[in-house]
Amino acid sequence: MGADFNDELQKCFEVLKQGGLILYPTDTVWGIGCDATNPEAVQKVYALKNREDSKALICLVANQAMLERHIKEVPEVAYDIIDLATKPTTIVFDEPIGVAQNLVAEDNTLAIRVASDKFCQYLINKFRKPIVSTSANISGEPTPKRFKDIGPEILKGVDYVVNLPDENKDPSPSSIIKLGNDGQVKVIRE
């Protein structure tokens, strides 16, 4: 790890701790992030993106143990999906626990992804809590694939922009799969 990498981790950690917003590279596209357990921070994300609370945001965790701390009961099939997925895959789970209430969808579900990106994993491990990840665009506008495509209002609206290069060769949003506690599996976005 270069000094830059550790420096960026520390800066993000400080901002997240204070309830601020970061703009950071994820295993998919660049994301706007915040402390997923802090309702005021989550509200800032909705305000910046100009979207209403009922549009759920994705939450990133560092590993399966952290996932288990925030979902009442992880269905067995989730582990297969996480292990077998060939691209970043977000899973919508029933009955999340210990996250900001305004992050939870009206049907009491939460979209969570185990981050595969090194920076995300290190950051979430250091922070020891899930962080929000939502595409760096105003609601309704196209998702920026590269850092250079991110609009000025987003860059100005976050408290810290990570200064690391685009590493992702082919960035695209994650697949989304909904898992019900009743065993139902539904693909929402391929």
Q: Which pLDDT score, from 0 to 100, does residue 154 have? A: 96
H or E element that contains 15: helix 3-17
As a whole number of angstroms, the distance between CA 121 and CA 180 comes to 26
Mean pLDDT of the chain: 91
Q: What is the dihedral of CA 69, 59, 174, 79, to 10 degrees?
A: 0
Q: What is the dihedral of CA 93, 109, 102, 164, to 10 degrees?
A: 30
Q: Which pLDDT score, from 0 to 100, does residue 136 have? A: 93
Q: Which residue has the tokens 């105003």?
A: 138
Q: Residue 8 belongs to what domain range?
A: 3-189
Does residue 52 carry a pLDDT above 90?
Answer: no
The answer to whether the predicted template modeling score (pTM) of the entire model surpasses 0.85 is yes
- Judging by beta carbons within 10 Å of its beta carbon (0-12, 13-18, 19+), is residue 189 exposed, middle or buried? exposed
Question: Both tokens of residue 88?
Answer: 């970043």
- 165 vs 62 pLDDT, higher one: 62
Output the domain CATH number for residue 155. Answer: 3.90.870.10
Q: What's the structural domain count of the chain?
A: 1
Q: Which pLDDT score, from 0 to 100, does residue 164 have? A: 83
